[in-house]
Amino acid sequence: MSNITVCARLRPSSSKERKDNGDNVCMRRLDAETFIFKDEKEEDFTFSFDKVFYEESKQAEVYEFLVLPIVRDAVNAINGTFITYGQTGAGKTYSMEGPSILKCDEEKKGILPRVVDGLFEHIKSLNEVENYSIKLSMVEIYMEKVRDLFDLSKDNIQIKESKVQGILLSGATETEMNMASSRSHSVYIFTIQQEFTGDKRMRAGKLVLVDLAGSEKAEKTGAEGRVLEEAKMINKSLSALGNVINALTGGSGRGNHIPYRDSKLTRILQDAIGGNSRTALLCCCSPSPSNASESLSTLRFGGRAKHIKASPRVNFNEHKYAKKHEAFCPNKDESCERIL
Ligand code: ADP
Ligand code: MG
């Protein structure tokens, strides 16, 4: 059992924040793991994380500390998950993708392109692997529907569970390789499969990256109509995530029941949160006093998540078992799956 890794990232003040607040920020750094946060009422809270990425931190530092160990594990058939959490504008997508997923300075490249490079780099270094495949599915969860970002006609993908592969998105387009909006959760799923020379055993690791929708409270956004409905749905799924975390850390008073089924997000993350996965969470915050209450709730969420324990393991499939269950095409054999 290992704890999930939780870090905070405090982005630089935006020009608007600088105009409104000058150099005034709501946190004071103590060291690389700890800072003091001042809330709206000037009350001090001390927060400690596995690491704090302050405003000058580089994308490479975030990748190397939080995600590279997960990439290495995924190549060794241990599932991994990386999640960005925080209010809209806090720096989640910047961390995940960089300022632009299509083109940006090498130094500013986000986690997602670094993961692609890292997976290929590490898998090539394994001598005993004869064949491998790396597949990517990209979906978004919008209004409790899972939509395929490679094929928008697939707008209500089913989530299934397989004994062999854990949580699966049935029929989501996989590419050998946006629509990403702050009103939806973006989920990138890499599946890494390998066949060994000699005994031809197979093993598979799954690496899931999740850029969550903004965590700001629906009623505070001043939204109406459809936008308010979206915000409520986001709050509902993020509350479900919070409830799963509470239940896993003994805070729910509901015995051993973990309410993964309360939202699509928690179903997809069932493997990742408290299950068979090494998980890392990046809590993104604005440093501005005007965002203090949302930043405080993000940091508290991270504080609770630090107590989750997970038990990642190597996903070895015996050759004959893998063949029988068509590990490369899991949806062909429904017998080992059940719809959640
Ligand atoms: P979110 O995805 O949480 O809604 P974004 O990642 O889109 O927020 O960030 C909001 C703005 O702040 C963007 O213009 C982004 O480029 C900028 N930004 C976020 N984090 C950083 C950072 N660490 N360094 C520089 N600019 C950042
Ligand atoms: Mg975003």
Q: Which ligand is nearest to the CA of 282?
A: 1
Least confident stretch, 135-149, 176-190, 217-231: 176-190
Is residue 218 predicted with pLDDT exceeding 60? Answer: yes
Picking from 290, 296, 298, 297, the residue whose alpha carbon sits closest to that of residue 17 is 290
- Going by their DSSP bridges, the two strands 129-142 and 145-148 should be labelled as antiparallel
Per-residue pLDDT tens over the stretch 233-261: 888 899 899 888 888 887 554 557 889 99
- Ligand 1 centroid to 94 CA: how many Å? 5
- With tokens 């996989």, the residue in question is 174
What does the pLDDT read at residue 175? 65
Q: Which ligand is nearest to the CA of 288?
A: 1
What does the pLDDT read at residue 325? 38
- With tokens 């607040």, the residue in question is 21
What is the number of the ligand 1 atom nearest to the C-alpha of 97?
6
Phi, psi of 100 (to 5 degrees): -150, 135
Confidence band, pLDDT 50/70/90 cuts, at residue 53: very high
82: its two tokens: 């990386």
Provide the 3-class DSSP secondary structure of residue 336.
helix
CB atoms within 10 A of CB 77: 20
- What mean pLDDT do residues 40-46 have? 92
- What mean pLDDT do residues 64-68 have? 98
DSSP structural state of residue 63: I
- Ligand 2 centroid to 38 CA: how many Å? 25
Spell out the alpha helix ranges (H) of the chain. Answer: 15-21, 59-62, 68-75, 92-97, 111-124, 225-248, 264-268, 292-305, 319-324
Which residues hold their Cβ within 5 A of ligand 2, which is an ion? 92-93, 182
For residue 5, what are the β-bridge partners? 280
Is residue 308 predicted with pLDDT exceeding 90? Answer: no
What letter represents residue 143's amino acid?
M
What is the number of the ligand 1 atom nearest to the C-alpha of 94?
6
Pocket of ligand 1 (CB under 6 A): 11-12, 14, 86, 88-94, 99, 182, 214, 284
Phi, psi of 67 (to 5 degrees): -110, -35
Whether the CB-CB separation of 234 and 183 falls below 8 Å is answered with yes
Nearest CA to ligand 1 atom 20: 91
What does the pLDDT read at residue 320? 38
| pTM, 2 dp | 0.88
- Ligand 2 centroid to 93 CA: how many Å? 4
DSSP of 125-154, one letter per residue?
A: T-TTEEEEEEEEEEEEEETTEEEESS-TT-
- Per residue in 278-306, is it b (16+ CB within 10 Å) or e — as a string? bbbbbbbbbbbbebbbbbbbbbebbbebb
User: Average per-residue pLDDT in the chain?
Assistant: 84
Is residue 100 predicted with pLDDT exceeding 90? Answer: no
Whether the CB-CB separation of 108 and 153 falls below 8 Å is answered with no
Can you say how many angstroms the Cα of residue 125 is from the centroid of all Cα atoms in its chain? Answer: 26
Q: Give the integer Cα–Cα distance in Å for 55 and 287.
A: 9
Is residue 219 predicted with pLDDT exceeding 80? Answer: no
- Ligand 2 centroid to 173 CA: how many Å? 23
Is residue 339 predicted with pLDDT exceeding 80? Answer: no
